[in-house]
Each structure stands twice: as C-alpha cells, then as structure tokens.
Structure 1
C-alpha cells in the first residue's frame, strides 16, 4: 500500500472510531431516558423510559380516591400515553444526529419512514477501498 493509501486508510479507521464512539454515546443516552407525565389534579404520575417502557406509576395525592373507575382509568392511560410520547421524542432527538441527512427521526420512530430508503442498493466504495479489494466497475 502506498503512503497515500495508508493515510487514507488511517483516516477511514479514525472516522470509524469517531462514529463508533458517537453511537456508544447515543446508546447510553437512550438507556438514560426517563420522562414523567402527571395527570390533571395530580391523580397519577407515570414515568416511561426508552421504547415507552413504563418504569414507575405513582399516585402523588389522594385525588384518585375521589375518581370514578372510568375517570381514573382515563387519567392513567392519558399519563402513560403522554410519558411514552415524551420518551419517544427524547429518543428521536438523541438518534437524529446519527441519521442520514433528510431523515426525520420522529417520523422514523413513528414507523412513517420506509427503511429501505435509508440504504443505497449498492454501497459507495472509495477508490482506495476499490484498489485494496481489487474491485473494478
């Protein structure tokens, strides 16, 4: 390998390491997501983590005792939905910088993005990689 190819290869390795570290940090940030939503009158408080996983449910006041069962159920479900939406928004914000340009993270998390559009049918290979692998067009 020539000096130029060695430098290009070293640059590729350095770039890979930077991307790897950024992904590690994103993964850590996703693990730390914790979003809390509280229903009106503080009847119920729900905390959700990444993926909408419910981490905690609390009844911070005695307001739930004065609620009809269907009213309490609606308050609990509303708080769960809000906490999950907050967690999804935070996850989208964490992942957005690592997505290809033009990909809306919130739409991706909502299942509104065709995942096949994120990858080219054929990977782009630099001339250096083509030379090393002896690939010709």
Structure 2
C-alpha cells in the first residue's frame, strides 16, 4: 500500500509540474501579446502592448499636411482602440482552452470562472473527481 501511495504522490507531482510549466508558458504568451495597426493610409502607426497600453506611435511627416489636428487625434484613437482589441483577442485565444464558458443562454458563451473550482471546497466527492482520486 505504501508503494501505491508513493506512486500516486509521484503522479500528482508530475501533473503539478506539468500544469506549472503550462502556466509559465501562458504567462509568457500573455506578456508578449502586442498588435501594430496602421491608419490614415499608413500615415499613422500605433503599437499596443500586452497590457493594452500604447507602446509605439509613429507619424509619416506628410500626415501634418493631410490631416487636421482633430482628424489626426481621431485617427490615433481609432488605431489604438483597434490594436488594443487585437491584443485582447490574442489574450482571450491563449486563455480559451483553460477557462470554461457558459453557453446556456444560447449565446456565443461567456467566461464562467465559477466552473473552474467546485461550488463548495469541502465537497470531497467533487474534489476526488476533479483530481482523479479513488476510494480504496
């Protein structure tokens, strides 16, 4: 019985290390998400990083002759919003396999974090099922 217990502990540790490695990869992927968008026929280029923050902004010198200040501001904001949406899509795509969704409302599905863990942490049967433990 002691060997069975040790084998089970070893298997759980292996699963833990695998999941930890997957989370580290996930964190790297999320941290490297970025998007670059061009606007106004290439006159404006914006880059948005992983946190949705503007990390780069370039203007073609001709932009000042073609766009008024208000048009330029509007163009920059639209490009930043588009790049931020693209970064959000990248992050969602990385997270999608890990987070359950609820499609019971007939819609596309919403992230339902409550399904990641059982409703009651003291529900022994749910914990056994989740972690593959069996009664002997």
- Structure 2 length normalisation: TM-score? 0.76
| Maintained 8 Å contact 1:46/1:56 | yes
Counterpart of 2:127 in structure 1 is 125
Runs of 4+ in 1 over 4 A off after TM superposition: 127-131
Aligned residue pairs total 125
- Superposition deviation, residue 76 in structure 1: 0.4
Query: Deviation string for 1:2-46 (max 9, x for gaps)?
Result: 222221111111001000000101111111112101113112111
Change (3 A) 1:103 1:24: farther
CA distance in 2, matches of 1:3, 1:38: 62
Bigger relative contact order (CA 8 A; separation at least 6): 1
| Maintained 8 Å contact 2:47/2:83 | yes
Q: Which structure shows the higher strand fraction? A: 2
Q: Structure 2: where are the runs of 5+ without partners?
A: none
Alignment RMSD: 2.8
